[in-house]
Structure 1
Amino acid sequence: MASSSHGPPEIAMELHALNRAKLVHSFRQYLKASSLPLFGFILLQGGGEQSRYCSDHVPLFRQESYFAYLFGVREPGFYGAIDVSIGKSVLFAPRLTEDYAIWSGKIKPLSSFKERYMVSLVCYSDEITEVLKSHYRGPGKPLLYLLHGLNTDSNKFSTPAKFEGIEAFQTDMTSLHPILSEIRVLKSELEISLIKYANDISSAAHIEVMQKSKVGMKEYQLEMIFLHHIYMHGGCRHCSYTCICATGENSAFIHYGHAAAPNDRTLEDGDIALMDMGAEYHFYASDVACSFPVNGKFTDDQRLVYNAVLKAHNAVLSTMKPGVNWIDMHKLAEKNILESLVAGGILVGEVDSMMEERLGAVFMPHGIGHFLGLDAHDPGGYPKGTERPTEPGLKALRTTRELKECMVITVQPGCYFNDVLLMPAMENPNTSKFFNQEAIERFRKFGGVRIESVVHVTSNGCENLTDLPRETWEIEAVMAGASWPLDSETIQKYKSTSSSSSSVAPEAPATEVST
C-alpha cells in the first residue's frame, strides 16, 4: 500500500478481493463438512442513505461494515453476490435518474465499478433476480445465503438482503453470519496497514490536542482540534465512534461525549483530561485514548492514578502473545491497578482478597479491550456456544477468547472514581474494609484515567500500533512544546526531573483506616 508525504495512502482494492476469496474458502469448507452441495450465492445488501427524520437532509453516508469488508464499495444502494461454486463476484448498482447528474455529479458507467472494485460482473440492482437465476449452477430453486446474526457487542442483528423477486429463491439465514464474523477476526497485512495508518494519524492528532490544551477552553474545542487534524492531514472524513473529550469529573463517565453530555465543559486548572478519539480510513478504525493534565503538569494524585493505569497497560502488552487468555489479561490489569492504589494509600489490605471480591470492577467497570477492524468494536468476540461471564467487571468483557496471531485488539485499562460504583462498595461489609475512606474522599471529584492502544498480535508477542507519549514526563515534555518522538536532550531533561518526583501519594497509616 503506497503512501505519500503529500496525502493519505492509496487504497489497495485487492484487499477486498482477498477477503472474498477467504470467505469462499471458509464457506466451501463449511458446506463440505456439513455434506451440503457447493452451489448458491452469498448475497449481501449494502447500506442505503437515510434522511434525517422527515427532512431531506442526508447525513454523510458510511458503508455497512460486512459489505465494506467484502466489496470496499463507498457508494450507497449496492448489492453484492458471490458464486459459491466458482468464487466469482457480482455487484449490483442502483439505476440512477438523470437528475442525479444535475445535483450530485456524473453518473458512472457500470464498467467503472467493475474496474474499481475488482469484481467479475456489474449489473443494475433491478436485475438481481434475472442475473442470479441465469448464473445459478446448481439443481432446483436457486439458493441464497443471506447475512443474519447477532452482534454480541451491540446485541443487534444484521439485516438480511431484501429485493423484489426474492421469493423465487431458497434462502438460508443461519450459515453465513458466523463464518463471515469469524474470518473478520484475523487481519491480513493489507488490513493491518490501514489500521496502522488510522492509528498513526490519530496519534498525531492526540498530540496536537495535548499541545493546544489550555485552561479556559471548552471540551468541544479539543474535539475540533482532533477532527481538523485527522481530516486536514490524514484524509479521514469519518471517526470510528463519537469523540470522548472528558475533563474533570466528566472523565469518570466511560462513554461521555454523547448528545446529552456533548463535550461542553470548560477546562479548569487542575483538571485531568481523558481523550478517547479515533480516526477511520477506508472503513478501518482506530481507537486511541490518552489522559493528561490540562495545565501540562501532573499533580501527585494525578501521577498516582495515571501510573497505576500505565503499569496495567504495560503489564498486559508485555504478556500478550498467541495462546494467552483475554480474561487473564483483564485480571492482570485489575491486579496492577489495585496494587498501585494500595501503594498509594487509597486502598489497604491484601490484593488477592480484593481480587476475590472483584474490587477491581469498582475502579475499572469496562473490559480490558476489544477487537478492532472495520468497526471500533469488531465482531467475533463471542462465537456461537461461548458464554459471557457474569461476574462484576468480567461481564463487560467484549471477548473471552485466547489470542491468536493476526488478531487486532485494544488494550484500554482505566481507573475511575465514580460514586455510583464507589459508594455501594464502601458500604458493603465484604469490601468496605479495603478502603481508606479519608483518601477516597480526596478523589471523589477526580474523574478518571484511561490509556488505550491498538495492538496487533504477532507470532511471538504483539506490536503496539499506537504511537503516543505515555510516561508522565513524556507527556509533560510534549505539552511544553517538544516534538514527538523526543530527542535525546529533551529526554534527559524531563526524565531526570520526573525521577525526582514521587509517583505515588504517601501511604496512609495502617492503623487509621476507616471502615
Structure 2
Amino acid sequence: MDNNLYADHMASLCRRYDDILEQSGFETLNVFSGAPRMQFLDDNPYPFKVNPQFKALVPITDNPNSWVIYKRGQKPKLLFYRPVDFWHYVPPAPQTFWSAFYDIELLSKPADAREFLSADRAAFIGETERLQDWPLGTINPEPLINRLHWARAYKTPYEVACLREANRIAMAGHRAAEQAFRSGASEFEINQAYLSATGQGENTMPYGNIVALNEHAAILHYTHLSTQRLPGTELKTFLIDAGANCNGYCADITRTYTYADSEFSQLIAAMDEKQLQLVDGLKPGQPYPDLHRQCHLKVGELLAQFGIVKSSAESAVESGLTRPFMPHGLGHFLGLQVHDVGGHQSSPDGGATPPPEEYPFLRTSRTIEESQVFTIEPGLYFIDSLLAELKASDLASEVNWDKVEEFRPYGGVRIEDNIVVGADTNMNLTRNWEAQS
C-alpha cells in the first residue's frame, strides 16, 4: 500500500475525529478491539471479530485485547497486544506501511492497557464485559457514534484503494468458483476453490459465502454448502455471492451462471444489462430509494419480456407484482462492514429515515453523494414461499404459472458490483477486474 496514500488518509481521519470529538464534548477516544468469547461449555473461543470502530482507526483485524487511544490534536496511540505465549501464534510488533503514524506500546497482558487509559473528558467505544471498573469514560455515547457513522459513508482515496484490492482478490475467487462449477464440483468444493484462489480463510471472509446450485439460488442467504455433486444432466444454475478482505475493507460481489445455454441464461444476460443501467443511474443528489424504484421497473420489464407476468412493467410495479420476485433491497453502503453503517441515518446528529413502506428491506434511504460506495445488486427469484402467497392473492391471474414452473428449478439470478460514486462518472470496482480475467 502507498505510504503517501495512507498519510493523506490519516490526515483526513485526524481532522474528522478532532472535529467530531469537539462537537461531542470529548477530548479523548478510547477504542477497544474486543476480546475473544468462549464457546458455551467449552474451552475454545468463537472466531474473533474486531470492533469496526477499532479498525476504522488502524488496519488491524485479527488482534484482540488491543486499543487505540485518540486524543484531539495528538498522534494516535496504539496499544498492541503481544503476549508471551507458547500455545498460540503471537503477532510481530507492527512494522508496516501504517505503523509510523502511531505511537505503539506493546502489551504483554490485557490488563496492562489500564495504565494508559483515562476517563477524563473521554469516550469509550467497544464491549465492556471484561472491563468493569476500568477508567473508560462515557461508554458508547450515541451522539459521538452517530457522527462517526455518518462520516464513514465518505471514503478517502486510501479506502477506495483497499476496496479496489478487495475486489481484485474476490474476482480471482469468482473465476475459480465458476471453473469449479463447470467441472461439476459440489457447493462445498466450489467454496474451497474460492477460498484457495483468494488466499483467505472462512474467518477472514467479510461474510459467509453464498454458494448455491439450482433451486438453492432462491434462498437469499444460502450458506449450507452441500457436499453432493450433481451430474451434468441435473446442473442448471450457479449463484455465488462472495467477497474478500483488504485491510479491513470488504468486497461484496455476486454472479450467476448457467451450466448450459437455456432461456434462463438469456435472462441472466438481460439482468446483467439492467444492472449496468442501474450502476449508471447512481448519481449524486438522487435519493437512493428512487433508484430502488427504478430497479423494480427494470425487474418488471424482465418479467414481461420473458413472459413470466402478463402485466406491463409499470403495472407490475404499481400493483406490487414485482416484489415477490425481488424481495430485497437494491444495495447498501459498503466499507469496513459489508452492510456499512448509516444507511438510514437522517443527519450527523442521528435520527432515522426509514425505507419506503412497500420496500421494508432496503438498507439505504440516504441521498446519494460523491465518494460514497454502494453495492448495486438487482435480482429476480422463484422463491416457493413468496410464490405460494402470490398464487393465493388477487394478483395470481397476472402470472404465467407455466413459465414460473419452467424457471423455478433455476432458483434465481442476482448480479452485484461495488461502485464508488463520482461527481461525473462512477468507478466500478468490480468490472475492471472481471475484464482482466
The CA deviation at 1:93 is: 3.9
SS in 1 for 2:352: coil
Q: Output the CA distance in 2 between the equivalents of 1:159 and 1:95.
A: 20
- Specify the alignment match of 1:298 in structure 2: 261
Is this contact kept in 1: 2:30–2:136, CA < 8 A? no
The CA deviation at 1:65 is: 1.6
Structure 1's 460 and 107: CA in aligned 2 closer, same or farther, altered over 3 A?
Answer: closer
Q: Map Cα deviations across residues 26-71 of structure 1 (whole Å, 9 max, x no partner).
A: 314524xxxx4xx531111112233444434346544322101112
Q: Output the CA distance in 2 between the equivalents of 1:63 and 1:290.
A: 28
Q: Output the CA distance in 2 between the equivalents of 1:129 and 1:16.
A: 29
The CA deviation at 1:436 is: 1.6
Identity %: 24
- Does 2:160 align with 1:192? yes
Structure 1's 46 and 11: CA in aligned 2 closer, same or farther, altered over 3 A?
Answer: farther
Is this contact kept in 2: 1:46–1:67, CA < 8 A? yes
The CA deviation at 1:122 is: 2.8
Flag the structure with larger Rg: 1
The CA deviation at 1:427 is: 2.3
- Does 2:16 align with 1:23? yes
- Specify the alignment match of 2:215 in structure 1: 249
Unaligned 5+ runs, structure 1: 3-9, 134-140, 148-157, 471-483, 487-515
Is this contact kept in 1: 2:5–2:157, CA < 8 A? no
Q: Output the CA distance in 1 between the equivalents of 2:281 and 2:272.
A: 14
Q: Output the CA distance in 1 between the equivalents of 2:8 and 2:385.
A: 46
The alignment covers a number of residue pairs equal to 428
- Does 2:226 align with 1:238? no
SS in 1 for 2:57: helix
Is this contact kept in 1: 2:180–2:189, CA < 8 A? no
The CA deviation at 1:454 is: 0.6
Q: Output the CA distance in 1 between the equivalents of 2:236 and 2:344.
A: 38
SS in 2 for 1:77: coil
Q: Map Cα deviations across residues 276-324 of structure 1 (whole Å, 9 max, x no partner).
A: 1111122111011101113xx3202331x31342232022112112112
- Specify the alignment match of 1:119 in structure 2: 102
* Counterpart among 435, 453, 469 of residue 417 in structure 2: 453
- 1:380-391 alignment, distance < 5 Å: 380-383=342-345, 384-389=350-355, 391=357
- 1:472-483 alignment, distance < 5 Å: none
SS in 2 for 1:454: strand
The CA deviation at 1:185 is: 0.9
Q: Output the CA distance in 2 between the equivalents of 1:213 and 1:106.
A: 38
- Specify the alignment match of 1:63 in structure 2: 50
Q: Output the CA distance in 2 between the equivalents of 1:168 and 1:465.
A: 39
Structure 1's 93 and 54: CA in aligned 2 closer, same or farther, altered over 3 A?
Answer: farther
The CA deviation at 1:369 is: 0.6
Is this contact kept in 2: 1:79–1:92, CA < 8 A? yes
Structure 1's 132 and 114: CA in aligned 2 closer, same or farther, altered over 3 A?
Answer: farther
Is this contact kept in 1: 2:6–2:158, CA < 8 A? no
SS in 1 for 2:182: coil
- Does 2:424 align with 1:441? no
Q: Map Cα deviations across residues 144-165 of structure 1 (whole Å, 9 max, x no partner).
A: 2123xxxxxxxxxx63686354
Q: Output the CA distance in 1 between the equivalents of 2:102 and 2:129.
A: 19
Is this contact kept in 1: 2:82–2:92, CA < 8 A? no
Unaligned 5+ runs, structure 2: none
Please report the TM-score for the alignment, with normalisation by the length of structure 1: 0.75
Q: Output the CA distance in 1 between the equivalents of 2:426 and 2:414.
A: 20
Structure 1's 418 and 112: CA in aligned 2 closer, same or farther, altered over 3 A?
Answer: closer
The CA deviation at 1:108 is: 5.8
Is this contact kept in 1: 2:124–2:136, CA < 8 A? no
Deviating more after overlay: 439-448 vs 184-193: 439-448
SS in 2 for 1:178: helix
- Specify the alignment match of 1:495 in structure 2: none
- Does 2:191 align with 1:223? yes
Q: Output the CA distance in 2 between the equivalents of 1:361 and 1:91.
A: 48
Q: Output the CA distance in 2 between the equivalents of 1:16 and 1:76.
A: 24
The CA deviation at 1:237 is: 7.4
Q: What letter corresponds to residue 353 of structure 2 in structure 1? A: E
Please report the TM-score for the alignment, with normalisation by the length of structure 2: 0.87
Q: Output the CA distance in 1 between the equivalents of 2:216 and 2:140.
A: 47
| Consecutive aligned runs of 4 or more in structure 1 exceeding 6 Å deviation | 111-115, 234-237
SS in 2 for 1:445: helix
Q: Output the CA distance in 1 between the equivalents of 2:154 and 2:427.
A: 15
Is this contact kept in 2: 1:160–1:173, CA < 8 A? no
- 1:324-335 alignment, distance < 5 Å: 324-335=286-297
- Does 2:402 align with 1:414? no
